[in-house]
């Protein structure tokens, strides 16, 4: 076996189809087939997961050959196969001695060397190396198959876990579009207990009953497309528009007297020339010279005209939607109904983020900050950790705004929506903070506030683009300030 062939042996085995066969066996499992066919979004997400697994496994089993055991044996094989026949007969026993306790070919090699007649055969070296090559191929294949089986069992276990979680989530989440189902599959790595399902179900029920919170979440989801992009050039456009133009031929009003030859607008005293034969020639002369006194009429008539204007082309361009950064006031004053509302609204925003392929981060703040990434892998565990967090401490809005602004300065958070949920019983922010926020607004980042108290500081909330108040009375009122 040439040196290059020996180095690529493991790679050739990994590309021999054993991985494809393993994937085929996985996909033929009844539970996996039913899950894939239940929703196109799940099928697509499952395909992405398996393709990623395929690349990882191919890379892993290719590295089997570089493990110490195989690497030393392959190097020794390459060396022995290049020896001259005389040198081979003299040193082959030493080479075989190195295989003792390291390779199962050791016993086969000793058996071949014990036959002195064979060693004198000029073809013995080639036969000996060929047998060794066959052994290496078989040993590597077995090692790779063992490695593959271990990874396949892990993947199958993960698929079953996600299928179980998705079935449990059917009780919690209403049917959505394909993208939402696919993102939920990516998050479904967490194993849910009965208590977890009850927690999610309770939150979904609360959000459904308080439809005002769902309305706020939906409005926040749409706002990324309702802005003009300052980076896009203004383009010239033409529209047909009905316009009014002044015209002397429209008899709306009498505005004066002028000389003309229009007999329909003739002043009565001009007709007196016709009463006397000797003056009749004067009348006709004035008519020819257009000197007859006429009423001056004026009015407006409507015409369709093409009106040219410049406008931004973003009205025809879909905006890239950035992530949601949801800052939730976790102070003690938010206990009770405000805490439930804050958690429910964040849960609703997570569902919108899933449907729109956006990320959703929650930052709990009081005297410290805790961050949850709700839409990441194993995101359901993050959701449950977030929902189980107890509110306590005081309100300190400044540090969480600083942290959010630092995040929004990065490319990943371009066109992001920052949503602050609080009772806003806190002092106004300094001027320097306002300048940083206004600078980010120029780069399409939006700042929203949802007040969960009647006693929020109005001056504090002036820094936000949109402010909602949600503290419903028994009638469940929802209103928007501006």
pLDDT at 308: 58
pLDDT at 117: 53
Token pair in block for residue 449: 């506030």
Token pair in block for residue 235: 């383009």
Phi, psi of 27 (to 5 degrees): -70, -20
| Cα torsion angle, 323, 324, 327, 328, sign | negative
| Contact of 342 with 334, CB cutoff 8 Å | yes
Contacts of 351 (CB under 8 A, 6+ apart): 173, 176, 180, 217
Domain ranges (residues) in the chain: 3-169, 211-227+319-480, 234-314
| Cα torsion angle, 110, 111, 116, 120, sign | negative
pLDDT at 7: 43
- From 190, 169, 191, select the one nearest 180 (Cα to Cα): 169
pLDDT at 9: 53
CATH fold of 211-227+319-480? Rossmann fold (3.40.50)
Q: Which residues of 213-223 are buried (b: 16+ CB within 10 A; e: fewer)?
A: bbebbeebbee
| Contact of 292 with 261, CB cutoff 8 Å | yes
The reply to whether the predicted model has a pTM over 0.85 is no
Cα–Cα–Cα angle for 307, 318, 235, nearest 5°? Answer: 30
Burial class (CB in 10 A: 0-12, 13-18, 19+), 350: buried
Please report, in angstroms and rounded to a whole number, the separation of the first and last CA atoms in the chain: 78
List, run by run, the mean pLDDT of 10-residue segments along the chain (482 residues): 46 63 83 82 82 80 61 83 85 85 82 69 83 84 80 85 78 58 72 81 85 85 62 52 64 83 87 85 89 85 61 50 88 86 88 83 86 81 85 81 87 85 86 89 86 85 87 50 40
């Amino acid at each position: 076996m040439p040196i290059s062939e020996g180095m690529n042996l493991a790679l050739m085995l990994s590309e021999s189809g054993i991985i494809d066969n393993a994937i085929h066996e996985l996909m033929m499992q009844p539970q996996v087939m039913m899950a894939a066919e239940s929703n196109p979004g799940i099928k697509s997400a499952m395909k992405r997961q398996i393709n990623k697994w395929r690349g990882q496994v191919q890379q892993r089993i290719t590295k089997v050959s570089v493990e110490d055991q195989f690497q030393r044996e392959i190097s020794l094989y390459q060396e022995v196969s290049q020896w001259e026949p005389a040198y081979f007969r003299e040193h082959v026993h030493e080479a075989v001695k190195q295989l003792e306790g390291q390779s199962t070919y050791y016993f086969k090699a000793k058996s071949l060397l014990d036959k002195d007649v064979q060693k004198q055969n000029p073809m013995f070296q080639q036969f000996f190396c060929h047998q060794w090559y066959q052994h290496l191929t078989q040993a590597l294949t077995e090692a790779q198959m063992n490695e593959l089986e271990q990874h396949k069992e892990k993947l199958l276990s993960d698929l079953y876990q996600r299928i179980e979680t998705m079935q449990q989530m059917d009780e919690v989440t209403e049917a959505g579009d394909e993208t939402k189902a696919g993102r939920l599959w990516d998050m479904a790595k967490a194993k849910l207990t009965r208590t977890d399902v009850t927690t999610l179900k309770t939150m979904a029920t609360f959000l459904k009953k308080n439809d005002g919170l769902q309305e706020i979440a939906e409005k926040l989801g749409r706002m990324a497309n309702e802005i003009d992009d300052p980076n896009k050039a203004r383009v010239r456009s033409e529209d047909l528009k009905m316009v009014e133009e002044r015209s002397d031929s429209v008899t709306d009003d009498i505005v004066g007297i002028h000389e003309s030859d229009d007999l329909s607008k003739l002043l009565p005293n001009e007709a007196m020339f016709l009463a006397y034969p000797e003056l009749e020639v004067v009348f006709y002369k004035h008519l020819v010279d257009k000197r007859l006194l006429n009423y001056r009429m004026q009015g407006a008539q409507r015409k369709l005209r093409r009106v040219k204007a410049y406008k931004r082309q973003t009205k025809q361009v879909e905006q890239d939607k950035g992530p949601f950064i949801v800052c939730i006031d976790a102070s003690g004053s938010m206990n009770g109904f405000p805490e439930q509302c804050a958690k429910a609204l964040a849960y609703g925003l997570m569902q919108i983020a899933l449907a729109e392929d956006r990320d959703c981060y929650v930052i709990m703040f009081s005297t410290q900050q805790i961050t949850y990434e709700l839409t990441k892998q194993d995101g359901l565990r993050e959701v449950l950790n977030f929902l189980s967090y107890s509110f306590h401490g005081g309100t300190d809005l400044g540090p969480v705004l600083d942290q959010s602004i630092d995040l929004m300065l990065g490319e990943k958070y371009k066109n992001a929506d920052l949503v602050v949920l609080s009772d806003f019983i806190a002092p106004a922010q300094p001027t320097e903070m306002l300048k940083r926020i206004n600078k980010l607004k120029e780069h399409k980042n939006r700042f929203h506030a949802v007040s969960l108290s009647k006693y929020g500081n109005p001056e504090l909330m002036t820094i936000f683009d949109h402010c909602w108040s949600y503290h419903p009375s028994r009638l469940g009122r929802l209103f928007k300030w501006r």
